Structure 1
């Protein structure tokens, strides 16, 4: 019964309503939508990638959970990418980024370009 949804994500646009026609997904009501993925890798990339927008509309994304009810749901936490502008390059080491990120919240991901030192204008971490 739950197996078809194990690779699904629940998304919610913030601030304005987004028409159902913009999203190829299941409308769960109260501005929550369900997107199902065939591959777990695609789901993980979507969950850890981003931030995600439709136009200028920010989308909060979370993993599907059994017995989800839109009327009771809330996003008590949101995954966001933090951009650390003009961070000195010596702080691009994973250990330093983890220490900085933990001061903000649990670290989910460090941007590959940041770890590889490809980008120097800013560092990105997902918390």
Structure 2
């Protein structure tokens, strides 16, 4: 199958070690560098291949690992990654919204819901709800979502993956291909701030990202598969792929 780490250059040795740590194949993993940050991962055991293809999403050094079946006539320098998976936080979410069905609907508003953090589904996290979603790289990500009568902000997790100008994932402001024309000094559209308790708030179009140090060997959030038993995660519906 073909793999690529989204948004970050990873050395061959580091990537191979991380993939072995993530997938724990029962046989030696063969990894071939195709160039342009694309690699071929080969398995001799069908069960190991199935796990790598279907039990994600996977993350390497905090960045999404795109995986797909091998395709004929694949050319790395012309291949375009159109979607990515990313963890999103909903800070200060009222506890009554820590409900599987509600969070499913929230995830679908933001993109395609992949999984819900165990602590979130069990309402144990407290500070924020934590969901993994698949989003398009061609559209700005959403900064807010309506839940009942509440409008909650959305914070995305990652390192140098979100442009604060166009709101798209995959690049930063310095390399933004969608840079907007500089606004005139008197043009305050989308930049007006309001005050809450005397303190200015961020504008409605402000995209926010949170980064944090990851523990050694932490490539994939703890997951459980299977039917719902209060703490299980959502699986990607059949027919959907990344």
Runs of 4+ in 1 over 4 A off after TM superposition: none
| Alignment partner of 1:62 is 2:67 | yes
Equivalent runs, 1:44-55 vs 2, <5 Å? 44-45=54-55, 47-50=56-59, 52-53=60-61
Q: Greater CA radius of gyration, 1 or 2?
A: 2
Between the aligned partners of 2:65 and 2:114, the Cα distance in structure 1 is 15
- Find the aligned partners of 1:88 and 1:36 in 2 and give their Cα distance: 45
1:1-127 equivalences under 5 Å are 8-15=1-8, 17-24=9-16, 25-36=31-42, 38=45, 39=48, 40-45=50-55, 47-50=56-59, 52-53=60-61, 58-67=63-72, 68-127=74-133
Distance 1:13 1:36 in 2: 20
Pick closer, same or farther for the CA change 1:12–1:118 going to 2, 3 Å.
same
Q: Which has the higher contact order (CA 8 A, sep 6+)?
A: 1
Normalized per residue, the structure richer in helix is 1
Q: How many angstroms apart in 2 are the aligned matches of 1:12 and 1:124?
A: 22
Q: Distance in 2 between matches of 1:65 and 1:88?
A: 44
C-alpha displacement of 1:42:
5.0
Structure 1 stretches of 5 or more lacking a match? 1-7
> Using the alignment, how far apart are the partners of 1:103 and 1:85 within structure 2?
16
CA–CA distance in structure 2, aligned partners of residues 49 and 115 of structure 1: 20
* CA drift at 1:36: 4.2
**Could you list the runs of 5+ residues in structure 2 that have no partner in the other structure?**
17-30, 134-242
Q: Given that residues 64 and 85 in structure 2 are in contact (C-alpha distance below 8 angstroms), is that contact kept between their aligned partners in structure 1?
A: no
CA contact (8 A) 1:11 1:35 kept: no
Give the secondary-structure state (helix, strand or coil) at the position aligned to 2:113: coil
Contact 1:84 1:123 in 2 (8 A): yes
Q: How many residues align?
A: 114
Say which SS state the counterpart of residue 80 (structure 1) adopts: strand
Deviation of 1:9 (Å): 5.0
Distance, in Å, in 1 between the alignment partners of 2:94 and 2:42 is 40
Give 1:30 deviation, angstroms: 0.9
Question: TM-score, length-normalised on structure 2?
Answer: 0.41
